[in-house]
Amino acid sequence: MRQFVIKTSNAVHMSVRRIAVMAVGLMFLTVMVQIVARYIFSSPPAWTEDVARYAMVWTGLLGATLSFKTRSDAILMHSIFPKRPHILGLFAEALQSAAVLTFILPVLYFCFVGLRGGFAKGYIARQAGLTADTLGIPMAWISISVPLAMVIILLHLAARWAQNEEETDNDSSETQLD
* The predicted structure's pLDDT at residue 75: 57
Whether pTM exceeds 0.85: no
* The predicted structure's pLDDT at residue 73: 61
Q: Is residue 177 part of a domain?
A: no
Q: Is residue 178 part of a domain?
A: no
* The predicted structure's pLDDT at residue 177: 46
Please give the tally of structural domains in the chain.
Answer: 1
Q: Is residue 36 part of a domain?
A: yes
Instruction: Split the chain (178 residues) into runs of 10 and give each run's mean pLDDT.
Output: 92 96 96 94 89 94 93 61 60 86 93 80 87 88 94 95 68 46
Q: Is residue 16 part of a domain?
A: yes
CA distance readout (Å), 69 to 31, 66, 73, 88, 149: 29, 5, 8, 21, 12
* The predicted structure's pLDDT at residue 133: 84
Which residue type, as a one-letter code, is found at position 99?
A: A
For residue 78, give its domain range. 2-172
Q: Is residue 31 part of a domain?
A: yes
**Nearest CA to 77 among 64, 95, 101, 103?**
95
Q: Is residue 137 part of a domain?
A: yes
| C-alpha R_g of the chain | 21
Q: Is residue 23 part of a domain?
A: yes
Q: Is residue 82 part of a domain?
A: yes
